[in-house]
Amino acid sequence: MFCSKCGANVQNGATFCSACGQPVPAVGVVSAPTSVTPVIAARPRVEYAGFWLRFVAVIIDGIVLWIVGAVITFPLVGAMGLRGMMRGGFGTYGSGPATPADVLPFVSIIFRLILISLVLRWLYYALLESSSWQATLGKKALGLEVTDMEGRRISFGRATGRTFAKIISAMILYIGFMMAGFTEKKQALHDMIAGCLVIRKT
Ligand SMILES: [Zn+2]
């Protein structure tokens, strides 16, 4: 199948041309690249979601993850406080310096909390963005969708890659995230790494 506007080869299942953004009709129209004609009354081109929309989505998702995380880790944090009181290991209850045996349970619980929050973030983003929603709650609320370069739904594996590539986007002073504000297809660095787009449903 070829794009009716620019003649580029369009892959099966694509919802828009990855070269020019021209929407592809749902019913496959087979046309040769020689029959390229100017499109007069085209549907709106794919609209990429810009930095600020995505920023608001991140905040909504942050709140959701914070609430879910608090509910999941509540028993662990409770156990930590209880153990602390039983051992008399904290501040005013304390008697003498803490020994490694006092500290170890706390280190282990904190390690588990970090692990749980990592797994939670991974599953939240990867499961929802590879689902039929193609969006987290924040993106859904704002009408945004994650797609591959041809506008198709992404797999769980690709969504996982995109999620973990955010670590790289964050490591360079979050410039990887800010790139969504000025790259051609408004891709953040993790979108480029995973071959993804974030689009606005029109
Ligand atoms: Zn095209």
Dump pLDDT digits (tens) for 139-149: 999 999 999 99
Question: What whole-number percentage of the chain has pLDDT above 70?
Answer: 84
Distance 10 CA to ligand 1 centre (A): 8
Question: pLDDT, tens digit, for every residue of 95-111?
Answer: 667 788 878 888 888 89
Question: Which parts of the chain have pLDDT scores under 50?
Answer: 27-29, 92
Amino acid at 163: T
Tell me what pLDDT residue 95 has.
61
Distance 76 CA to ligand 1 centre (A): 53
Distance 16 CA to ligand 1 centre (A): 8
User: What is the average pLDDT value for the chain, to the nearest integer?
Assistant: 87
Distance 161 CA to ligand 1 centre (A): 27
Distance 185 CA to ligand 1 centre (A): 14
Distance 6 CA to ligand 1 centre (A): 4
Tell me what pLDDT residue 98 has.
74
Tell me what pLDDT residue 149 has.
96
Question: Between vectors from CA 140 to CA 123 and to CA 58, what angle results, nearest 5°?
Answer: 65
